[in-house]
Copies of this chain bind each other. A is one copy, B any other.
Amino acid sequence: MTTGVRRRMGVEERRQQLIAVALELFSHRSPDEVSIDEIAGAAGISRPLVYHYFPGKRSLYEAALRKAAEDLAARFEEPREGPLGARLLRVMGRFFDFVDEHGPGFAALMRGGPAVGSSTTNALIDSVRQAAYEQILAHLGVSAPSARLQLVVRSWVSLAESTALLWLDGRRVPRAELELQLVHDFAALAAVSAAYDEEMGDVLRGIIASEPPDGPFAELVERLVALAPLPQGSA
CB 8 Å contact bits of A157-194 with B (1 = contact, 0 = none): 01100110011001011000110010011001101111
Contacting residue for A113 out of B118, B163, B213, CB 8 A: B118
Main secondary structure on chain A at its contact with chain B?
A: helix
- Say whether A220 faces chain B, with CB atoms less than 8 Å apart: yes
Total copies of the chain: 2
Query: What is the CB-to-nearest-CB distance from A122 to chain B, in angstroms, rounded to a whole number?
Result: 5
Per-residue B-contact encoding for A193-216, CB less than 8 Å = 1, 0 else = 111100001001100110111000
- How many angstroms from the CA of A159 to the CA of B163 in the assembled complex? 10
List the B side residues contacting A189 at CB < 8 Å: 185, 188
CB-defined contacts of A163 to chain B, threshold 8 Å: 151, 155
CA distance A213 to B231 in the complex (A): 7
A195: chain B residues at CB < 8 Å are 184, 219-220, 223
The distance in angstroms between the C-alpha atoms of A218 and B233, with both chains bound, is 11
Give Cα distance in the complex from A158 to B185, angstroms: 14
Q: Is A191's CB under 8 angstroms from B227's CB? A: yes
Q: How far is the CA of A209 from the CA of B218 in the complex (A)?
A: 25
B218 A231 Cβ-Cβ under 8 A: yes
Contact residues in B for A204 (Cβ distance below 8 Å): 227
By a CB distance below 8 angstroms, the chain B residues around A150 are 166
Contact assessment for B191 and A208 in the assembled complex, using a CB-CB cutoff below 8 Å: no
Which one, B148, B177, B227, contacts A194 given CB within 8 A? Answer: B227
A9 at the interface (CB under 8 A from B): no
Residues of chain B contacted by A212 (CB below 8 angstroms): 235
- Chain B residues within 8 Å of A122, by CB: 111-113
A85-121: which residues lie under 8 A (CB-CB) from chain B?
Answer: 111-114, 117-119
Contact B172 A147 (CB under 8 A): yes
Q: Is the CB of B184 within 8 A of A192?
A: yes
* Sampled A-B contacts (10; CB under 8 Å): A147-B170, A148-B173, A154-B166, A155-B166, A191-B224, A194-B227, A195-B219, A201-B227, A217-B231, A221-B231
Known contacts A147-B170, A209-B231, then 12 further A-B pairs from the complex at CB < 8 Å, ordered by chain A residue: A113-B117, A113-B122, A114-B119, A154-B162, A155-B162, A188-B192, A191-B224, A195-B219, A208-B230, A209-B234, A211-B231, A221-B228
